[in-house]
Structure 1
């Protein structure tokens, strides 16, 4: 697993915080009332540690995730992960659909894909702009599955996982979610080099 210095972790945290701030502003515009997104801390983890961390944090092995791949100077993917209950609550708040509504599942995929797209684009776009790195985005995908299945395709020897634990606060209602970045090892080194250049 890639070892980072405290300074490097702080620099990544600062960059992600800037992106999350921009994403929060976009979401505020979209829904018309305040949404606060915060990144409390950053961890660099193995795939196994990530799976254990998510299960412990959400007290569930079944999660909802929006995944957005990116390529360019830095390759990898970003995931916005929620417990399914938080995902339903968030969709209900954003769309006005009642939590018990039979239509909720029908609108959930589109709504969460759009939210994930906005949040992840905000963060990855900021990283690219601040570090002057070219980024291309793939189409976001929405999945509900077990933690093991969600990350089964990650190659431990070729990837660096950065877990950014995100807290969504919406009008006194706490909806929790995590932002997870999976960088190809070689391009993660380029990310660190670019961060050190601008630091």
Structure 2
């Protein structure tokens, strides 16, 4: 398994899950302000997998086309963050975010904008919280909306054997009584993931120190 030498320990994975959950709860409160309704977001699991495995995990669960919001981030660790929804769920999300009174045509028209905005809030909150809690700073590009399947979104290049790693997060949304599931994926190369691992260790030491 290529993740061998940058596998996260159980403690690191727990710390990262905790950090990401704080990030998505901040995103939930921003979305709540934006749409004026209850938003519940949680990240039940975080895994580090290869790009191929991430694409396979999504295609096993989602048979329909996918829509993703993509933002690149750079700093002490860099990569590409994707917020991914099954296409059917993305219209549900647009209706939830815009108040639900749209016709199908209007929803499709507003989809790009509403998704980019929602993706921006969620990805920014997650990454800014990670950076902040790890005492670093990250800069992010503006969001782009993409469509495709797992292989295209994870940019799997069949011609080369090399691939990066993906920090793969399941995400559960509940907006206005609609259950919407999605995924957050952060594509990073091995040096970036090794840096993240090191920063998580520093974070854990600080917490242990404060508890001691």
**Under a length normalisation based on structure 2, what TM-score does the superposition of the two structures give?**
0.88
Aligned partner of 2:44 in structure 1 is 40
Please say if residues 8 and 197 of structure 2, whose CA atoms lie closer than 8 Å, have aligned partners that are also in contact: no
In 1, Cα distance between equivalents of 2:80 and 2:102: 30
Query: Which residue of structure 2 aligns with residue 117 of structure 1?
Result: 120
Q: How many equivalent pairs are there?
A: 198
Structure 2 CA distance for partners of 1:116 and 1:182, relative to 1, 3 Å: same
Structure 1 residue 9 displacement after superposition: 1.0
Whole-angstrom CA distance in 1 between matches of 2:182 and 2:19: 19
Which residue of 126, 146, 149 corresponds with 1:146? 149
CA contact (8 A) 2:92 2:180 kept: yes
Displacement after TM superposition at 1:198 (Å): 1.6
Q: What are the Cα deviations for residues 111-160 of structure 1, in whole angstroms up to 9, with x where unaligned?
A: 00000000000000001111111211111100111222111257874522
Greater mean alpha carbon deviation, residues 100-109 or residues 187-196 = 100-109
Please name the residue that 2:185 is paired with: 180
Q: Is the 8 A contact 2:35 2:99 kept in 1?
A: no
Distance 1:158 1:47, change over 3 A: closer
Match of 2:12 in 1: 8
1:38-75 Cα deviation digits (max 9, x unpaired): 10111111111111110122233x10000110011110
- Contact 2:83-2:123 at 8 Å conserved across structures: yes
Map of 1:86-125 to 2, 5 A cutoff? 86-96=89-99, 98=101, 100-125=103-128
Cα RMSD, aligned residues only? 1.7
1:29 is aligned to 2:13:
no
The 4+ residue runs of structure 1 with deviation greater than 6 A are: none
Looking at structure 2, the residues matched to 28 and 77 of structure 1 have their Cα atoms a distance apart, in angstroms, of 26
Say if 2:202 is the partner of 1:197. yes
Unpaired runs of 5+ in structure 2?
205-212
More strand by percentage: 1
Which structure has the greater CA radius of gyration? 2
Q: Is the 8 A contact 2:70 2:144 kept in 1?
A: yes
Residues of 2 paired with 1:44 and 1:188: CA distance? 9
> For residues 14-40 of structure 1, what are the alpha-carbon distances to aligned partners after superposition, in whole Å with 9 as ceiling and x for unaligned?
111111111111001110010000101
